[in-house]
């Protein structure tokens, strides 16, 4: 549980805090999240916050991470004001602690942060998910990138270095195959063969980013539906949250990663591959929302590579699962011994679907340019 001392550390009037109602939010997988409602002693509603304990076993540089979030949310708030929007609904708002930082280090060394609760918000995935949901999700990513399109991405630290360096992920796969630490390589020769046969796609984004052919932007890196907040009543998108993995990178990372999850007909660990298809309708709807909102700032080179990005990001995740399987499941949590292999095969099935339909997918994306 969160202690009252941590909560008080984010108040300037700490002697006057009221009656606190604390609820643990279970939906996230990374941080410990608490919703805190503060009522004055007279019972009137006074404040509504989200407190999070940062998972420092995944995020080794919490101060660099918080500096990233501070820079990005300040910039997004400024852009929101310029666009006539309420900044407290258009982005996360960080509170300052008694340590005069946007975080608080408790006596045990844990890092805490506090956000204003986004007013009247719920996650995009709490309502029934339909193809139209993907128009909204694509629009939310476009808004996020637009707000940050004039932000200097090189100011951000790389929270997890080389996160979407697909070439490097490929190199790691080759190491995992040759070391074969789990002794499982013989269980997955065909999968390894497929993975190695796709080396030609590994440089498509990273090489262009390095040569300057693709612009360096602020990327979110976790664009799933549960990280998009909507207004409970109007159902309109408010903003993207969960900014821990905000880093410099390519806009294509976020587009591709969103389709990796949102373009599939099945869960990421569905073992029956006859149920796993890439859904062109979801791709179409996401393009409608994303290109519709981002076409005026995306470059032609970015727009040209959207279908490939979906394949590359799905492939990259597949080879991360396969490498982890070969390494003996040291990174992703698994529920049974073959879990990572099942996930890898599932991702490779989607990659084949996408690569086999590139022309059609380009046709769909081009409708919205
Ligand atoms: P994790 O990294 O563990 O996924 P998130 O930052 O996504 O953590 O937070 C978990 C959940 O808490 C979100 O899915 C959302 O429901 C809720 N949440 C987080 N921040 C806010 C906020 N500022 N306002 C309202 N709800 C929030
Ligand atoms: C991890 O934390 P979670 O479950 O949202 C991983 C992503 C992968 C995803 C696959 C920091 O995301 O990169 O795409 O699993 N996050 C990290 O399910 O490695
Ligand atoms: Mg989340």
Q: What is the pLDDT of residues 297-309, one digit of tens each?
A: 999 999 999 999 9
Count: domains in the chain: 2
CATH number assigned to the domain comprising residue 202: 3.90.1200.10
Phi, psi of 50, deg, nearest 5: -115, 125
Pocket test for ligand 1, best of 27, 86, 115 (most atoms within 8 A of CB): 27
Query: 104 with 135, same domain?
Result: no
Query: 82 with 155, same domain?
Result: no
Whose atoms come closest to the Cα of 247: which ligand?
2
E strand or H helix that includes residue 352: helix 339-356
Pocket test for ligand 2, best of 160, 162, 222 (most atoms within 8 A of CB): 222
**Residue 41's pLDDT band (boundaries 50, 70, 90)?**
low
Distance 33 CA to ligand 1 centre (A): 7
CA 208 to chain CA centroid, nearest Å: 22
186 contacts: CB under 8 Å, gap ≥ 6: none
30 Cβ closer than 6 Å to some ligand 2 atom: yes
Query: 306 with 206, same domain?
Result: yes
**Domain hosting residue 40, numbered range:** 4-119
Distance 145 CA to ligand 1 centre (A): 20
Q: Residues of 5-17 as b/e, b for ≥16 C-beta within 10 angstroms? A: ebbbbbbeeeeeb
Phi, psi of 297, deg, nearest 5: -115, -15
Residue owning the nearest CA to atom 14 of ligand 2? 317
Q: Look at residues 81, 104, 119 and tell me which one is the last residue of a structural domain.
A: 119
Query: 114 with 129, same domain?
Result: no
Query: 110 with 155, same domain?
Result: no
Strand partners, 290: none
Query: 347 with 300, same domain?
Result: yes
What is the rounded distance in angstroms from the CA atom of residue 310 to the CA atom of residue 210? 20
pTM: 0.92
Strand partners, 23: 35
**Residue 127's pLDDT band (boundaries 50, 70, 90)?**
confident
Per-residue pLDDT tens for 98-111? 999 999 999 999 99
Q: Look at residues 88, 119, 150 and tell me which one is the last residue of a structural domain.
A: 119
Distance 11 CA to ligand 2 centre (A): 33
Query: 158 with 224, same domain?
Result: yes
Query: 133 with 101, same domain?
Result: no
What pLDDT does residue 20 have? Answer: 83
122 contacts: CB under 8 Å, gap ≥ 6: 229, 230, 232
Q: Cβ distance 91 to 77 under 8 Å?
A: yes
How many Cβ atoms sit within 10 Å of the Cβ of residue 108?
Answer: 5
Q: Look at residues 119, 151, 169 and tell me which one is the last residue of a structural domain.
A: 119
Average pLDDT over residues 34-54: 82
3-state class of 293 per DSSP? helix
């Amino acid at each position: 549980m969160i202690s009252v001392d941590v909560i008080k550390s984010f108040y300037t009037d700490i002697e006057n805090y009221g009656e606190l109602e604390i609820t643990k939010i279970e939906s996230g997988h990374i941080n410990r999240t608490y919703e805190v409602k503060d009522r004055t002693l007279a019972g009137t509603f006074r404040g509504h916050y989200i407190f999070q304990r940062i998972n420092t076993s995944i995020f080794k540089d919490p101060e660099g991470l918080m500096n990233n979030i501070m820079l990005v949310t300040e910039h997004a708030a400024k852009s929101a004001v310029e666009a006539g929007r309420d900044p407290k609904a258009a982005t996360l708002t960080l509170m300052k602690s008694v340590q005069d930082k946007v975080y608080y280090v408790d006596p045990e060394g844990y890092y805490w942060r506090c956000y204003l609760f986004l007013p009247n918000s719920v996650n995009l995935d709490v309502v029934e998910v339909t193809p139209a949901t993907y128009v909204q999700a694509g629009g939310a990513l476009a808004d996020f990138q637009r707000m940050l399109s004039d932000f200097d991405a090189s100011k951000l630290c790389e929270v997890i270095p080389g996160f979407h360096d697909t070439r490097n992920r490929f190199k790691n796969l080759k190491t995992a195959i040759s070391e074969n630490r789990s002794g499982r390589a013989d269980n997955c020769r065909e999968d390894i063969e497929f993975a190695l046969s796709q080396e030609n796609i590994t440089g498509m984004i990273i090489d262009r980013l390095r040569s300057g052919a693709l612009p360096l932007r602020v990327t979110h890196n976790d664009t799933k539906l549960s990280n998009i907040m909507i207004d409970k009543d109007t159902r309109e998108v408010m903003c993207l949250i969960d900014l821990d993995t905000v880093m410099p990178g390519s806009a294509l990372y976020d587009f591709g990663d969103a389709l990796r999850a949102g373009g599939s007909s099945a869960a990421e660990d569905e073992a029956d591959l006859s149920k796993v298809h890439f859904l062109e309708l979801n791709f179409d709807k996401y393009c409608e929302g994303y290109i519709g909102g981002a076409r005026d700032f995306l470059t032609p080179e970015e727009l040209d590579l959207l279908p490939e990005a979906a394949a590359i990001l799905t492939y990259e995740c597949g080879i991360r699962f396969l490498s982890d399987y070969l390494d003996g499941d040291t990174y992703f949590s698994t529920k049974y011994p073959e879990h990572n292999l099942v996930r890898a095969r599932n991702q490779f099935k989607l990659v084949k679907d996408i690569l086999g339909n590139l022309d059609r997918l380009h046709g769909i994306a081009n409708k919205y340019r």
